[in-house]
Amino acid sequence: MRQVSMAHLIRMFAWIGFSSVGGGRSAYIYDMLVERHAWLTREEFLPRLTISQLLPGPNVANLAVCLGGWLRGSLGAIVALIAVIFPGAVTIIILAGLYFGYGVGPDTELALRGMGAAVVGFLCVTTARIGRGALRARGAIWIAGLTFISVGILRMNAFLVITLVGGLSLWLNRPGRSETRHSTGSEGRGIS
Amino acid sequence: MTDLLALAWTFVRLSFLAVGGGVGVVPEMQRQVVGIHGWLTARQFVDGYALAQVTPGPGMLVSAFIGYRVYGLVGAFVAMAAMFLPTSLLTWIVASRWQRLQSRPWALAAERSLAPLAVGLMAAGVFTVGRSAIADVPTIVLAGAACIAIAKRWLPAVVVVLAAGFANWLLHV
């Protein structure tokens, strides 16, 4: 770990927030902080990536909190969080103002339809990439399928589903069961 | 005021559902903001989600878009704070204790067992967005083309999404 000034921290995370378009850019953060600027090592980065994926909340924000906190303490965590959100927040609020204030003309409407369709394609790819590495636990395919059907198709309350299906999954993977197909933890997860 | 409270409470609860990334929370978000509260139409929800994907920062900034609709600038900030602050606090608390928690068998079990749940939620999110966004032949073709272009890493996702918007416009002129 390197000694990093608060100004550097703000600039780095604001830049990450500004340039991470499309969500799920943990690989980008890894590249910036570990490979290019050597603010921390791979071994310091990976457990923090795992935490930010494991805990609820937007991944990029969680990762900013973990890394900012590691580099500069509690204040660093707060500063990194705000810096990573700020550029996008300003943009989306301006767009929301235009969208709801002036409405959308037919041309914009068509462009938004096209963008919405492409976002679906993008999400399919992202889900497939993450799914490939994540479906190795015991009963994983069934848990994923059950979750998909109940939340996606049957539109059931997601809180209920997470509690019930999550509980079932935890029980299936409880400590002490023979772990023949056990994933290797953070190292096996890869960087999405 | 009741709107602001409902907004804050809705997004705090939604933020705790976002396991393994933002997409998984989309079905419940749509159920809440379109179905239960009627803050937006399904169409506006998809538009907002698409905009949040092509603008910088986390996709969950769609919360600001929704908040703005409900209560203007104040609503946008309340929704964002509700979406990001409580889970960030939790992350910070756990992260600063992780050295000790990491080796517990239950921590490993939680890591293993939450992954498929997150994938199922993500797939449900794709399905929910798709149900509103895929409406006719051009949108089917554009979604398929975007899928291939991004999977093969021909272009960055944001370029593909913007190009698809342009293409859909061209198709109808």
Tens-place pLDDT, residues B47-91: 998 888 888 888 899 999 999 999 999 999 999 999 999 999 999
Tokens of A19: 């340039």
CA-nearest of A56, A188, A44 to A130 is A188
Is A22–B84 a contact, with Cβ atoms under 8 angstroms apart?
A: no
pLDDT single digits (tens) B113-135: 877 887 888 888 888 888 888 98
Cα-to-chain-centroid distance, residue A93: 21
Q: Can you name the residues that pair with B19 across neighbouring β-strands?
A: A56
Is B150–A66 a contact, with Cβ atoms under 8 angstroms apart?
A: no
Which helix or strand (DSSP H or E) is residue A105 part of?
Answer: none
Asked if residue B20 has pLDDT above 70, the reply is no
Chain A nearest-CA residue for B52:
A92
The pLDDT of residue A130: 74
Give the C-alpha separation, B129 to B149, whole Å.
19
pLDDT single digits (tens) B2-14: 899 999 999 999 9
The pLDDT of residue B122: 81
Question: What's the average model confidence in pLDDT over A37-49?
Answer: 82
The pLDDT of residue B23: 77
Is A117–B113 a contact, with Cβ atoms under 8 angstroms apart?
A: no
Q: What is the ipTM of this complex?
A: 0.82
Phi first, then psi: give them for residue B52, nearest 5 degrees: -65, -25
Q: Can you name the residues that pair with A56 across neighbouring β-strands?
A: B19
Asked if residue A57 has pLDDT above 80, the reply is yes
The pLDDT of residue A54: 76
Chain A nearest-CA residue for B45:
A116
Give the C-alpha separation, A125 to A129, whole Å.
6
CA-nearest of A28, A50, A29 to A184 is A50
Query: Quick check: B119 contacting A, CB < 8 Å?
Result: yes
Q: Can you name the residues that pair with B56 across neighbouring β-strands?
A: A21
Is B64–A93 a contact, with Cβ atoms under 8 angstroms apart?
A: yes
Q: A with B: how many residue pairs have Cβ under 8 Å apart?
A: 386
Provide the pLDDT confidence category of residue A26 given band limits of 50, 70 and 90: low
Residue A34 has what DSSP assignment?
I
Is A173–B109 a contact, with Cβ atoms under 8 angstroms apart?
A: yes
Phi first, then psi: give them for residue A21, nearest 5 degrees: -95, 135
DSSP string covering B94-126, please?
Answer: HHTTHHHHTTSHHHHHHHHHHHHHHHHHHHHHH
Phi first, then psi: give them for residue A56, nearest 5 degrees: -70, 160
Burial of A104 (0-12, 13-18, 19+ CB in 10 A): middle
d(CA A151, nearest CA chain B) in Å: 6
Residue A185 has what DSSP assignment?
T
Give the C-alpha separation, B52 to B59, whole Å.
5
Which helix or strand (DSSP H or E) is residue A46 part of?
Answer: helix A42-54
- Residue indicated by tokens 């900012």: A68
- Using an 8 Å CB-CB cutoff, list chain B residues near A91: 55-57
Candidates A79, A98, A109, A119: best to mutate against B (most CBs of B within 10 A) is A119
Q: In chain A, what percentage of residues exceed pLDDT 90?
A: 35
Give the C-alpha separation, A24 to B21, whole Å.
7
- Using an 8 Å CB-CB cutoff, list chain B residues near A52: 91
Residues 48-107 of B with CB under 8 A from A: 48-62, 64-65, 68-69, 73, 76, 80, 83-84, 86-88, 90-92, 94-96, 98, 102, 105-106
Give the highest mean pLDDT range of A29-33, A172-176, B146-150: B146-150
- Residue indicated by tokens 């994907």: B53
Residues 111-140 of A with CB under 8 A from B: 111-128, 130-131, 134-140
Provide the pLDDT confidence category of residue A184 given band limits of 50, 70 and 90: very low
Give the C-alpha separation, A134 to B113, whole Å.
9
Residue B155 has what DSSP assignment?
S
DSSP string covering chain A, please?
Answer: -----HHHHHHHHHHHHHH-BTS--HHHHHIIIIIIS-SS-HHHHHHHHHHHHHSBS-HHHHHHHHHHHHHHHHHHHHHHHHHHHHHHHHHHHHHHHHHHHH---HHHHHHHHHHHHHHHHHHHHHHHHHHHHHTTSTTHHHHHHHHIIIIIIS---HHHHHHHHHHHHHHHT-TTS--TT---THHHH---
d(CA B70, nearest CA chain A) in Å: 10
pLDDT single digits (tens) A87-140: 999 999 999 999 999 888 888 889 988 988 998 898 888 788 777 777 777 788
The pLDDT of residue A180: 45
Chain B nearest-CA residue for A135:
B116
Give the C-alpha separation, A46 to A170, whole Å.
23
SS3 assignment, position A89: helix
- Using an 8 Å CB-CB cutoff, list chain B residues near A175: 105-106, 108-109
Tokens of A90: 């300003």
CA-based max dimension of chain A: 60
Contact A40, B65 (CB under 8 A): no
The pLDDT of residue A3: 77
Candidates A74, A127, A177: best to mutate against B (most CBs of B within 10 A) is A127
Cα-to-chain-centroid distance, residue B120: 14
Is B91–A55 a contact, with Cβ atoms under 8 angstroms apart?
A: yes
